[in-house]
Amino acid sequence: MPLKNSQTLKIYNSLTGKKEVFKPINVGHIGMYVCGPTVYSNVHLGNCRTFMSFDMIFRYFKHLGYKVRYVRNITDAGHLVDDAEDGEDKIAKKARLEQLEPMEVVQRYTLDFHSILEKFNFLPPSIEPTATGHIIEQIEIIKEILEKGFAYEINGSVYFNVAKFNETHEYGKLSGRKLEDMIANTRELAAQDEKKNPQDFALWKKAEPEHIMRWPSPWGDGFPGWHLECTAMSTKYLGETFDIHGGGMDLKFPHHECEIAQAEACNGHSPVNYWMHANMLTLNGKKMAKSTGNSILPNEIFSGENSILSKAFSPSAVRFFMMQAHYTSILDISNDALLASEKGFQKLMDAVGNAEKLPTTDKTSSFDVSVWRQQCYDAMNDDFNSPILVAKLFDAVKQINLIKEEKETISKTDKKLLSQTINDFVFDVLGLESKNSIDETGTDKLSGVVELLIQLRKEARENKDFATSDKIRDQLAALGIQLKDGKEGTTFSI
């Protein structure tokens, strides 16, 4: 019997504000759409956390035996600077600054995005559509919304009429905002603003002569609004109503709110049954921002080439760190947190390796593996509660160590179930990789040799023999081993 038939899964639905029993539209099948990156720069670590949360969710659905169509888009046009209605396209701006074609920018940062996600051991989505590949579909949706009276065209641009829509629908139901309050707290329209109301948003924008990215339409050359692309791509591949729509908490308003309005205006009904939102990642207790210097890229963590962390950390150690917080909670990344996570990750990997080699008994096990196994499922069934799952996995780590020391016992049948279950959750569901640990990539023998050289270098420096000290450092660097001196001593990264 497939696992999905024996497990009851609850999901926190952002639309209703409560946990609900998950019931797919089509039995045994799930349609899930997640807002992907705007590819104008290296992928942000906070974005990685969001995508990692949904990768874990995707993995769990597959583990339960569902057939999942997972759609995650690439935004390669239409997303204006500061998420505004006017101004420059983020990709076009980057292209102008770097003197490139916009699609060169798209290609460069799409490759970076895929490279980082591959290092983090993400499963690829079922479909990864692009905004520019669906201009025709977006134009057709605009025509439909115009025909139904929920939009208006002016000077080559088309805007969604929020006030008109709100007469028969509820704009703001996802974010909990009331249109009346939004109107009361909004400045009056500037004289040059074409919109009837400040809350109206662009479905299609007229391209000014200097705008590089432009397409022909019934209203003249222009480009689609940012919100429209997700409505077009999600409904094309998942249907007018699908199971799950996910994204970062910052997209709830206005992006997802506008998606709901567009879909309801076009199709007459709600597009999504369960809305899911992942929370933000902070760095050393503060919001990550390039402008303040409080930011770090994934590759800078993996290489150790940064001024924030004391050493390099493997992708799996970072992934394990992120899995220790619920996807809806704010998570703060710091050097101490990553060091602790790395130790925990190695303990977990050691236990996974030991699980298959445990001595068995002909008697009853002292550890009830079946009860523990269901507790692991109960954690994931409670809105994908990965931190509780991790705690349950460490309950098993403790038992594995006790059985190894012959302080507890396990039967042959339970040993097989224990090993299978811990492998399922560690590798298939959490998506960790044992090969990313330093002991397995570089081997503990290499670590011992490098530590010996670090000690010899330290003695040379104490003896003011800086020529030998520098020679050790430089020759290790030539071999791809970087030393990093800090307050607590010297560390190395490969």
Residue 437 is predicted with a pLDDT of 43
Do 241 and 270 meet the contact criterion of CB atoms below 8 Å apart?
A: yes
pLDDT at residue 127 greater than cutoff 90:
yes
* Residue 158: predicted pLDDT: 97
CA 95 to chain centre: 26
Asked whether the whole model's pTM tops 0.85, one would answer yes
Q: What is the pLDDT of residue 445?
A: 67
pLDDT single digits (tens) 387-444? 999 999 999 999 999 999 999 999 999 999 999 999 999 999 999 998 544 444 455 5
* Of 371 and 77, more confident: 371
Q: What is the pLDDT of residue 443?
A: 53
Q: pLDDT tens, 169-195? A: 999 999 999 999 998 887 666 555 789
CATH architecture of the domain with range 282-436: Orthogonal Bundle (1.10)
Q: Where are the domains of the chain?
A: 3-278, 282-436, 438-493
What does the pLDDT read at residue 440?
Answer: 45
Please state the rounded mean pLDDT for residues 144-158. 97
Helix (H), strand (E), coil (C) string for 71-108: EECEECCCCEHHHCCCCCEHHHHHHHHHCCCHHHHHHH
pLDDT of residue 435: 59
Percent of the chain with pLDDT strictly greater than 90: 78
Q: Amino acid letter at 423?
A: N
Q: Name the β-bridge partners of 205.
A: 223
Per-residue pLDDT of 227-262, as tens digits, reads 999 999 999 999 999 999 999 999 999 999 999 999
CATH fold label, 3-278? Rossmann fold (3.40.50)
What average pLDDT does the structure give for the chain? 93
| pLDDT, mean of residues 277-296 | 90
pLDDT tens digit string along 44-85? 999 999 999 999 999 999 999 999 999 999 999 878 777 777
* Count of other CB atoms within 10 angstroms of residue 360: 15
Q: What is the pLDDT of residues 443-480, one digit of tens each?
A: 556 777 888 899 899 888 889 898 898 889 888 888 87
Which residue blocks in 268-331 are alpha helix, DSSP H? 298-303, 315-323
Position 438 scores a pLDDT of 42
Average pLDDT over residues 114-118: 98
Phi, psi for residue 315 in degrees, rounded to 5 = -55, -40
